Structure formats: C-alpha cells, structure tokens
Amino acid sequence: MLLFKLAFRNIFRQRRRSLLTALSMAGGYILCVFSFSLSEGSYNNAISFFTLDHTGHVQIHQDDYYRRPKIHKTIDNPESVSELLDANDEIESHTLRVFAPAIAYSDTDNTPAQVIGVDLERERSTSTLEDKVSSGSYIDSEPNAEGYYSAMIGAGIANSLNIDIGDELILISQGADGSVANDIYIVKALVGDRDSLDRATVFLPLRAAQEFLSMFGRVHEISILLRDDDAARDEAALLQEQLPELTVSPWQVVESTFYQSMQTDKQGNNFSMGVIVFIVFVGVLNTVLMSVLERTREFGVLKAIGSRPFKIALLITLETAVLATLSLLAGLLVAVPLVAWFTFVGIELAQPMNVGGIVMSHLTGDMSLFVFAAPLILIVIFAILISVPAGIRAARIPPTEAMRSH
Amino acid sequence: MYDIRSSCLSGFRHRLLLSYLLLLLSLFPFNIASAAETAIEIIDQMEALYQGESSRASMTMIVETPQYQRTIELEASSMGTENSFIRIISPRKDRGIATLKLDMEMWNYLPKINKVIKVPPSMMMGSWMGSDFTNDDLVKQTTLTDEYALTLEETDELYTIVLVPKEETVTVWGKIDYIVNKQYMVPVAQNFYDDNGEIIRKLEFTELKDFAGRMIPSRLEMIPMNKEGNKTIVIYDNLEFNPPGVDESIFTLRNLRSRF
C-alpha cells in the first residue's frame, strides 16, 4: 500500500511529463483499437456477406467435391442427411444444391453458364438468393402446362443471350451418366446485375436440375446456416462424426483462400500495431529512465535506510503500470464512443462499393471485447517489460555513490 | 562407250540394254514406293471395310466408367467415306439424338430442344456422347493415308503399319500403330501414342462375323490408357452393304432435323 502511495506521488511530482507520456500511451491505444475495429469490422462484413450469399457456415459434400468438383461426386442420401440436420438445434437452416457447367442458348446466341439447382423453399431461409432477384419473381418448382420448368438467370446471361423474362432458355451440358443433357426452360426472374457474382449463373429448381443432369435424387452440396456464427469449426467437427461417409467443412476450409489471406492481413495489421506500440514505448522508456536518473539520490537514501532492491524495482514497475492504467482509462473514455459511432454509423464512402450485388455505402467497424482488450493487454505487457530494466538499474545503485550525486 | 556403240549396231542389244536399265531403275526407288503403296492400300481397305459404297448398321455402344455403365443403341448409315449419319435409338431419354457428317463438317441434333449444333473443329477430339470415341473417330475427318507417313512391317500373320504424322498435320497423336490380320485382311488393333511415345489409347477389333459375305470384326473395344476403369465397346449387331434406301437424301440437314 505504501508502495502505491509512493508510486502515485512520484507520478504527480512531474505532472507535465507524466501527462505527455500518458497522452502518447492513450493515443497509441486509441489508434490500435480503431485499427482493430476497422479490420474486424470489414472482415466480419465480408464473412457475413458470403456465408449468407452462398457459402453458409458449414458445407457437406461427397469426398473432395469442394476442391475438385466432379459431377459424379454426389451425396446419394440427401433426405436422411436433411432429417438429421432438421433435428439439430444448433442449425438455423440448410439447403440442397447441384452444380454443373453448361452452355446456354437463345435462338441466336450462346454463352457459358454455371447451372445451380436449388431447393427453392430451403434456399429462401438459408441464403440471400430471394433478395438478389432484381426483376421478375422467385420461381416455384413446378413445371408449367407444357412441361417446362422455370429458371432464374444472372443478368450477364440475359444480356449476352439478349433474352428477358418470359423467354425460352436452352441449356446443354453433360449428364452424370455421360449423356447429353439438354432442355428448355422459361426465364421467370433475373438475378443481380451485370457486375454481381451470379451474372453467369442459371438457377433451376432442384428437381429440374437433377432431371437435366440425370442425377435423380442426388445432390452435390448441402449448405448449412448455424445459429451461432462463430461455431462453424466446432459444429463441422460434430457433424463430421455423425456423417463419417461425407466431408463436412466449415467456411474457413471452403473459402480457404479468403480465410488465409484474411489471416495474413490480420497478422500484418497486428505487426504494424506492434511497431506503433513499440514507438510509443520508446518514449515511455525515456520517461522512466529520466525519473530513475533524477531520483538517484533518493534511491540511495532508500537503500541506505534499508529498502530492499526488489522493493525499489517493484516501485518503478508499479509507477509505470499505474501511469499506463490511467492513460488506458482515458483512452477507453475516448475509444468507446468513437468505435461505437464507427460501428453503428460508419464512414460514408465517397462512392458506394458494390460487392457481388450487395451495395456497401459505409465503411463500418466492429465493437467487441477483442477490439478493446487486445491492444490493452499489449500495452500493459509492454509497460511492464520496459520498466523492468529501469527498475533493475535503480535497484543496483550503490547507496554511497548515489547519495553523493546530485 | 563400247555399249553405246554396240547398241547403235544392234537393235536387239539396244532393247536388251533398255530393259536392263529399266530393271535397274525399278529396283531402287520403285521398290520403296510400292511398299508405301501397299501400306496405303491396306489402310484404305481397312477404313472402307465397314463402309462399302454405302452401308447401314445397327450397333450397341456400351460406355463403362468407374461411376456408371451406359448402353446406347445406334443406327448408322454411310455413303462413301464423306457422308455418315448416326441416330440414337435407345435409351428413351436420348432417343432421336443424331449426328450428321458431310465432308469435313459435323452437326449434332438434339430433338428435345429441337436444335442443330455444329461441332466446331476444336471439339473434334472431344468425346462423342460421353463415350471414349472422339468425334473425329466417328467422322474420320483426318484421312490417315493423306496426313500420315506410313511404314509397313510384316510378320507371317500380321501387317503392322506405323503411321507418323506429317509435319503439317494437325493431330494429337505422335504415332499410330495399325495392326492388320493378313489372312482375313481385317484390323486387329490400333494403338495411339502421344508425342512422348507413350500409349494413350488402344482400339481392339475382335469377334469376326460374316456380314453379307464379308468377314468383319463385330466388336470394337476402345480403351483409354490414361483413364483407369473406362472403356467403350461397340458391337455391330447388323451391317448391310449397298442397302436400298440409303441415298443422298439421308445426308442432309433437313433429314437431321426431321422428327423421328
């Protein structure tokens, strides 16, 4: 307790110097918090964008379909897997899909297309497909009177084939049995615009796509949306145990390119934050060393009257820690409202960014324990690290020499 | 000098010398030329074996892969080497799908979408209807005897003709071995190699059968060596030569499009 008192007294003895040091620490802290908030915020945006757009949190495939898609790598018992997933409380919803590359024809033109057969009802609650319909209406899974199924096509296809809602779309591909897949569909909706990810995609009702590709009852992918965003890895591991014959992958694996570059970028960000904190603490080190130097006589006296060297070192460390705590408190007072504003309002972009059909007009941050705690811990650790050598120096001073100095 | 003078002296001697010279001439280059000619003749004979002047065939094609097996029944007509027409009879799902080849061009017709699609030159090495045969195998767009240099090897029972593409030939094959049974003059096998001399696929001809007086292998087995577990078998169920009804009207885009 006495040590605390001494520490406080020493801090407030040189008010101006302490204030400047505290300011640099608080400033460094705010900068770190802000930068973490920005990177977390923009990555969380991106993650929630693509998990809702198509990836889901967890995906189930046959074998290594997600890395090397082959039409015959199918999940052959989707109904029983569906039942299992419906009974799971951790799962918000899931959807079944088949994929195939195809060539799309109109009467006059042709263009390559990616065919995706989706379970229309389940897709509605699992992905943003319905929201992406830019004109026309979300299709149903029944064929019309002439036996033609409906299709939703990417705006890019509509543009290159020069067709619109109500027109016929011809698809040709190769079926799972090697036969020539070919059929006619009626365009009922356009998806996204010419810049979106789905510009070259044709969405068909699941059953229509299965018939088209001669893969009756089988699917390529089951995409799962969890109640808890962060549980993807754990839930994937649990499901993998229940479905040993299939491959269950969290989005971190499915979107591994994105995930890895995100991790790398975050590490780079952490490193530059480390550099900033380091620079801040070169200043702090200067303060600590100065205060040790100018109190040489004092420490000499303390030692002469019987203070243990350890106590003296502890005093120096405590002084730095108290100063750091005070500046972090001040920093928090500024950072919390700033980050709150950044999270809920955000910085308006001069030009709205279009990420795959989703317009982002604001750059927003993230407000979480991590954003505040990580730089806080970083600074406290640095403060203690830096005060230790100064403390040792003070503790080592021989009393006689120290008392002789001015 | 002596010879010339004496040839002037005697007509008989003159003639003798001439024939001697001719014999000498024919011994060298002509010998090689005639061997190549035989090779060309053999290949031409083999290629014409299934076609005649005109022909009609019923075939069963079995496509085997590790994932599925598929059986297709086909009807094929041909006229000369330039024109051929193939239509799928079964399975029901694919019934009516047809392929027409005229000279160097090829079209597929898909009845479900009522569309004729021209097969572009770039797709000639692509698979025909998911089988291990390429479009080129079917239409024989590349004439072996024109585009390849031939060398003939012979054993007691077999001719082996090695075909190496000429410099200007566009092909994916580095070499083709064409093996022919001497006794029946029918193909036994064709081995296709890539540029590195590695074997890529094998076509085997077996089960000799009498079709209208000709002994012809009725079973063709195409085995791609780079795709394990895949092969395609073609069985000739029936083959007629110069049958009635196979005329020019069959080999038209209008007939390709006709409902079947």
Cβ neighbours around A143 below 10 Å, total: 16
Return d(Cα A96, Cα A79) in angstroms, integer.
10
Confidence of residue A213 (pLDDT cuts 50, 70, 90): very high
- Write the pLDDT tens digit of every residue in A25-55: 899 899 889 888 988 888 888 888 888 888 8
- A146 and chain B: CB distance < 8 Å anywhere? no
For residue B49, the model assigns a pLDDT of: 81
Q: Are B208 and B224 in contact (CB under 8 A)?
A: no
Q: Are A122 and A94 in contact (CB under 8 A)?
A: yes
Contact yes or no for A179 and B115 at CB 8 A: no
The strand pair at B186-193 and B199-211 is best described as antiparallel
Contact yes or no for B110 and A180 at CB 8 A: yes
Chain B nearest C-alpha distance from A185 (Å)? 10
Chain B nearest C-alpha distance from A156 (Å)? 22
Provide mean pLDDT across the span B251-256.
Answer: 89
Closest residue of chain B to A110, computed from CA coordinates: B117
Return d(Cα B99, Cα B119) in angstroms, integer.
10
Average pLDDT of chain A is: 88
Which of B70, B112, B130 has the CB atom closest to A182's CB atom?
Answer: B112
Contact yes or no for A179 and B131 at CB 8 A: no
Q: Enter the pTM of the model.
A: 0.75
Contacts of A264 (CB under 8 A, 6+ apart): none
Task: Name the amino acid, one letter, at A206.
Answer: L
Q: How far is CA B153 from CA B47, B162, B178, B193, B198, in A?
A: 19, 8, 10, 18, 20
Contacts of A106 (CB under 8 A, 6+ apart): A161, A162, A163, A167, A168, A169, A170
DSSP codes, chain B: -HHHHHHHH-HHHHHHHHHHHHHHHIIIIIHHHHHHHHHHHHHHHHHHHTTSSEEEEEEEEEEE-SS-EEEEEEEEEEETTTEEEEEEEESGGGTT-EEEEETTEEEEEETTTTEEEE--GGGTTSBSTTSSSBHHHHHT-S-HHHHEEEEEEE-SSEEEEEEEE-TT---S-SEEEEEEETTTTEEEEEEEE-TTS-EEEEEEEEEEEEETTEEEEEEEEEEETTSTT-EEEEEEEEEEES-TT-SGGGSSHHHHHS--
Does the pLDDT of residue B18 top 70, yes or no? no
- Which is it for the CA torsion A257, A263, A268, A269, positive or negative? positive
Provide mean pLDDT across the span B44-58.
Answer: 84
Q: From the centroid of its chain, how far is CA B249?
A: 24
For residue A382, the model assigns a pLDDT of: 85
Cβ neighbours around B32 below 10 Å, total: 9
Provide mean pLDDT across the span A197-211.
Answer: 92
Q: How far is CA B240 from CA A89, B49, B186, B213, in A?
A: 68, 12, 17, 10
For residue B7, the model assigns a pLDDT of: 43
For chain B, how big is the Rg over CA atoms in Å?
A: 23
Q: What is the dihedral of CA B32, B37, B39, B44, to 10 degrees?
A: 170
- A186 and chain B: CB distance < 8 Å anywhere? no
- A72 and chain B: CB distance < 8 Å anywhere? yes
For residue B138, the model assigns a pLDDT of: 76
Return d(Cα A317, Cα A310) in angstroms, integer.
11
Contact yes or no for B67 and A175 at CB 8 A: no
Confidence of residue B32 (pLDDT cuts 50, 70, 90): very low
Confidence of residue B11 (pLDDT cuts 50, 70, 90): low
Lowest mean pLDDT among A27-36, A68-77, A125-134, B139-148: B139-148
Chain B nearest C-alpha distance from A188 (Å)? 19
Chain B residues near residue A174 by CB distance under 8 angstroms: 130
Task: Name the amino acid, one letter, at B234.
Answer: V
Does the pLDDT of residue A230 top 50, yes or no? yes
Q: Which two tokens stand for residue A269?
A: 């960000």
Contacts of B198 (CB under 8 A, 6+ apart): none
Beta partners for B215? B210
Return d(Cα A257, Cα A304) in angstroms, integer.
64
Q: Based on the number of CB atoms within 10 Å of its own CB, is A363 exposed (0-12), middle (13-18) or buried (19 or more)?
A: middle
Chain B residues near residue A180 by CB distance under 8 angstroms: 94, 97, 108, 110, 129-130
For residue B29, the model assigns a pLDDT of: 44
Q: What does chain B come to in residues?
A: 260
A180, A213, A218, best to mutate vs chain B, most B CBs in 10 Å: A180
In three state form, how does the secondary structure of B77-125 look? EEECCCEEEEEEEECHHHCCCEEEEECCEEEEEECCCCEEEECCHHHCC
Closest residue of chain B to A103, computed from CA coordinates: B117
Q: Which two tokens stand for residue A330?
A: 């001040």
Nearest to B206 by CA among B191, B221, B194: B221
Q: Are A94 and A224 in contact (CB under 8 A)?
A: yes
Contacts of B156 (CB under 8 A, 6+ apart): B182
Return d(Cα B255, Cα A125) in angstroms, integer.
50
Provide mean pLDDT across the span A129-137.
Answer: 89
Chain B residues near residue A184 by CB distance under 8 angstroms: 112-113
Contact yes or no for B115 and A177 at CB 8 A: no
Q: Are A292 and A392 in contact (CB under 8 A)?
A: no
- A211 and chain B: CB distance < 8 Å anywhere? no
Nearest to A222 by CA among A67, A77, A46: A77
Q: Are A154 and A198 in contact (CB under 8 A)?
A: yes
Lowest mean pLDDT among A82-91, A202-211, A234-243, B18-27: B18-27
Element (H, E) at A74: none
Does the pLDDT of residue A335 top 70, yes or no? yes
Cβ neighbours around A317 below 10 Å, total: 22
Does the pLDDT of residue A329 top 90, yes or no? yes
Chain A residues near residue B70 by CB distance under 8 angstroms: 177-179
For residue A239, the model assigns a pLDDT of: 93
SS3 A1: coil
Chain B nearest C-alpha distance from A67 (Å)? 19
Chain B residues near residue A172 by CB distance under 8 angstroms: 110, 113, 117
- Write the pLDDT tens digit of every residue in B157-195: 899 999 998 888 878 889 999 999 988 889 999 999 998
Q: How many CB pairs under 8 A join A and B?
A: 45
- Write the pLDDT tens digit of every residue in A235-257: 999 999 999 999 999 999 988 88
For residue B13, the model assigns a pLDDT of: 58
Does the pLDDT of residue A96 top 60, yes or no? yes
Confidence of residue B135 (pLDDT cuts 50, 70, 90): confident
Closest residue of chain B to A184, computed from CA coordinates: B113
